[in-house]
């Protein structure tokens, strides 16, 4: 049987009066070794020789190798200062790693950057750094090397670098051109705080089977990158089957920034073959950004079955760069977005729209559900669908102070057909100005392309009328009223 602890770091000669410093150092060493090894784990501090980065890398290498029968790395409740990214963690072939920190007692839910939790402080000064990268070498879903198991819990990761280090990324799961998937049980990110990176804070690249709970992400005030980036660009890889529960994503008002971006980038190899599917966001918050959430598909991409329930989008409508809460776009022929659902969500204070969906040059956006949501104070039409089919918009409660000009609560245009718009309400707030901003509750665009829509039982404040039907007699318009 191997020893529980390693050699004592300080030798004290019998009969001498020992200084308290080496005595306490020995005591702390024994404590850390027992805590780590008695429970079968690898305490980072037990591997310390020259630096925190060296200790972290050595502890992770031992855990991936399964030394002492454990794949778990433990961090103490302190700052770990690293000057370069942690060595990329290769879990090819169903290897496993658990990175476990300690939550701060003063701030339930995630570590407090100013208190006693575990923080990895990234003092990077050279370019191209990733604070934490977990990946496999699996080329695709058929390659057995793409299976991996990991957990990241109770950690804060904060950028604090300068100069060339400013292009650093926070957490990256996956690597361009490869696949990473769970090996039986879904992989986990729990109670993790990622802060102040100018580049992407959290990236999931061709990543399948992840559970994120209480992930809180803040972008740098000067950032034009993303708090969360989900991506797939290979026809034989896949991103999805991933859940986000009680997560916060904070963007900025900088032009071009998407706080959260889900991007399916087709390479034109096979139609409808590159896919992202099965994303679930529950009780999540999206703050600011040029766009709070961007769903983007091009080439031969296929983006399917994304569900947003009880989520919140908060913007600042006085800042022009904070445009749309949600932007959905297909940009090329054969790209498709289908089965996206927004239910019981809150979207307030955006400079343009709450939901803006547009299909360009032959792309398809279909089967979008916008149900029982609360929308307020958008300066353009709150829901604007262009080239969208087979969707339903029901139970929307929209309030405003009457600002904006010439808008409608809901717009169907540019080839939007076979949609149902029903039981939606628009209300001017008490003390607000007359509803000059909302002229119609619903506008259906020009004859010929916007057809076979059903618009019924919509009510509320509008300055001109309830429904502006320019799409012709194939649309069914009934039982709508305005005041």
Other residues' Cβ atoms within 10 Å of the Cβ of residue 271 = 15
Is 441 among the domain residues? yes
Nearest by Cα to 170 from 133, 214, 207, 225: 133
pLDDT at 404 over 90: no
The pLDDT of residue 246 is 97
In a domain, 242, yes or no: no
Rounded distance between C-alpha atoms, residue 237 and residue 171, angstroms: 20
The per-residue pLDDT for 299 is: 84
For residue 424, give every residue at least 6 positions away whose Cβ sits within 8 Å of its Cβ, in sequence order, or none.
393, 394, 395, 396, 397, 398, 409, 410, 441, 442, 458, 459, 460
- Asked, for residue 366, whether it belongs to a domain, the answer is no
Within a domain: 479: yes
pLDDT at 418 over 70: yes
Interval 237-276: pLDDT, tens: 999 999 999 999 999 888 889 999 999 987 766 655 779 9
Other C-beta atoms closer than 10 Å to the C-beta of 429 total 13
Q: Give the 3-state secondary structure of residue 80.
A: strand
Of the pLDDT bands very low, low, confident and very high (cuts 50, 70, 90), residue 437 is low
Question: What's the rounded Cα separation, in Å, for the pair 461 and 402?
Answer: 9
The two tokens of residue 21 are 């410093």
- Is a pLDDT exceeding 80 seen at residue 462? yes
Cβ neighbours, 10 Å, residue 14: 4
* Structural tokens at position 422: 């029903």
Terminal Cα distance for the chain, rounded: 83
Euclidean distance between CA atoms 441 and 434, whole angstroms: 14
Position 461 scores a pLDDT of 86
The rounded distance, in Å, linking the Cα atoms of 74 and 152 is 11
Which of 321, 189, 311, 165 lies closest to 258, judged by CA?
Answer: 321
Bridge partner list, 410: 383, 442
380: pLDDT strictly greater than 70: yes
CB contact burial 67-98 (16+ within 10 A = b; e otherwise): ebebbbbbbebeebebbbbbeebbbbebbbbb
Least Cα distance to 117 among 64, 155, 87, 157 occurs for: 155
Q: What is the pLDDT of residue 463?
A: 82
- Lowest model confidence (mean pLDDT) among 68-82, 239-253, 310-324, 425-439: 425-439
Residue 138: the pLDDT is 96
Q: How many CB atoms lie within 10 A of CB 265?
A: 17
Q: What secondary structure letter does DSSP report for 345? A: -
- How do strand 274-282 and strand 79-82 relate by DSSP bridges? unpaired
Domain that holds residue 459: 404-483
Residue 50: pLDDT band by 50, 70, 90 thresholds?
A: very high
Integer angstrom CA distances of residue 141 from 137, 238, 263, 435: 11, 8, 19, 54
Taking the model in full, what pTM does it have?
A: 0.89
Assess if residue 451 is contained within a domain.
yes
- The residue-averaged pLDDT of 117-124 equals 94
| Structure tokens belonging to residue 29 | 């060493």
- Inform me whether the pLDDT recorded for 111 exceeds 60: no
- Residue 2 is predicted with a pLDDT of 44
Tell me, yes or no, whether 203 lies in a domain. Answer: no
List the one residue out of 360, 354, 356 whose CA is nearest residue 336. Answer: 360
By the 8 A CB rule, do 479 and 456 touch? yes
Distance between CA atoms of residues 77 and 401, nearest Å: 48
Is the pLDDT score of 27 beyond 80?
no
pLDDT tops 70 at residue 156: yes
In a domain, 214, yes or no: no
Domain membership flag for residue 346? no
Q: Does residue 4 carry a pLDDT above 60?
A: no
3-state helix, strand, coil in the chain (%, to 5): 10, 45, 45
pLDDT at site 285? 97
Q: What is the pLDDT of residues 325-342, one digit of tens each?
A: 999 999 887 889 999 999
- Give the 3-state secondary structure of residue 271: coil
The 10s digit of each residue's pLDDT in 438-458 is 789 999 998 678 999 999 999
Q: Both tokens of residue 412?
A: 């169907």
Given a contact cutoff of 8 angstroms between Cβ atoms, the answer to whether 438 and 408 are in contact is yes
Q: What DSSP string runs through 91-147?
A: -TTT-EEEEE----TTSTTS--TTTTS-EEEE---SSS-EEEEEE----STT-GGGE
Counting the structural domains of the chain, the total is 1
Burial class (CB in 10 A: 0-12, 13-18, 19+), 312: middle
Is the pLDDT reported for residue 476 higher than 60? yes
């Amino acid at each position: 049987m191997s020893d529980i602890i390693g050699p004592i770091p300080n030798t004290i000669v019998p009969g001498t009066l020992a200084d308290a410093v080496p005595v306490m150092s020995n005591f702390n060493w024994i404590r850390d070794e027992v805590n780590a090894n008695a429970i079968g784990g690898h305490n980072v501090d037990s591997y310390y020789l020259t630096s925190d980065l060296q200790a972290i890398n050595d502890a992770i290498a031992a855990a991936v190798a399964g030394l002492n029968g454990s794949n778990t790395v433990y961090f103490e409740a302190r700052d770990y200062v690293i000057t370069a990214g942690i060595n990329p963690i290769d879990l090819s072939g169903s290897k496993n790693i658990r990175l476990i920190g300690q939550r701060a007692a003063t701030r339930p839910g995630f570590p407090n950057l100013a208190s006693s939790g575990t923080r990895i402080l990234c003092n990077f000064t050279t370019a191209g750094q990733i604070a934490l990268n977990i990946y496999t070498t699996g080329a695709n879903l058929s390659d057995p090397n793409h299976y991996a198991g990991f957990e990241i819990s109770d950690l804060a990761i904060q950028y604090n670098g300068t100069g060339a280090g400013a292009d650093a990324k926070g957490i990256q799961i996956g690597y361009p051109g490869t696949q990473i998937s769970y090996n039986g049980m879904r992989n986990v990110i729990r109670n993790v705080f990622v802060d102040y990176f100018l580049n992407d804070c959290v990236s999931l690249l061709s990543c399948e089977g992840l559970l994120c709970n209480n992930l809180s992400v803040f972008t740098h005030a000067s950032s034009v990158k993303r708090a969360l980036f989900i991506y797939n660009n290979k026809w034989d890889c896949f991103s999805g089957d991933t859940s986000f529960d009680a997560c916060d994503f904070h963007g900025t008002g900088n032009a071009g920034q998407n706080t959260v971006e889900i991007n399916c980038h087709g390479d034109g190899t096979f139609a409808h073959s590159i896919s992202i599917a099965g994303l679930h966001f529950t009780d999540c918050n999206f703050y600011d950004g040029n766009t709070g959430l961007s769903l983007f598909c091009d080439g031969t991409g296929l983006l399917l079955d994304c569900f947003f329930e009880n989520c919140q989008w908060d913007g600042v409508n006085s800042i022009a760069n904070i445009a749309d809460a949600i932007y959905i776009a297909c940009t090329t022929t054969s790209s498709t977005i289908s089965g996206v659902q927004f239910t019981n969500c809150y979207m307030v204070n955006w400079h343009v729209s709450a939901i803006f969906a547009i299909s360009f040059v032959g792309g398809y956006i279909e089967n979008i559900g916008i149900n029982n949501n609360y929308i307020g104070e958008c300066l353009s039409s709150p829901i604007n669908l262009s080239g969208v089919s087979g969707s339903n918009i029901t139970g929307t409660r929209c309030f405003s102070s009457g600002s904006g000009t010439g808008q409608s609560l809901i717009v169907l245009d540019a080839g939007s057909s076979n949609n149902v718009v029903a039981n939606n309400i628009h209300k001017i707030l008490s003390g607000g100005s007359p509803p000059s901003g909302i002229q119609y509750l619903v506008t259906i665009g020009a004859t010929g392309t916007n057809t076979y829509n059903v618009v019924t039982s919509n009510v509320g404040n509008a300055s001109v009328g309830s429904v502006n039907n320019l799409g012709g007699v194939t649309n069914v318009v009934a039982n709508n009223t305005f005041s």
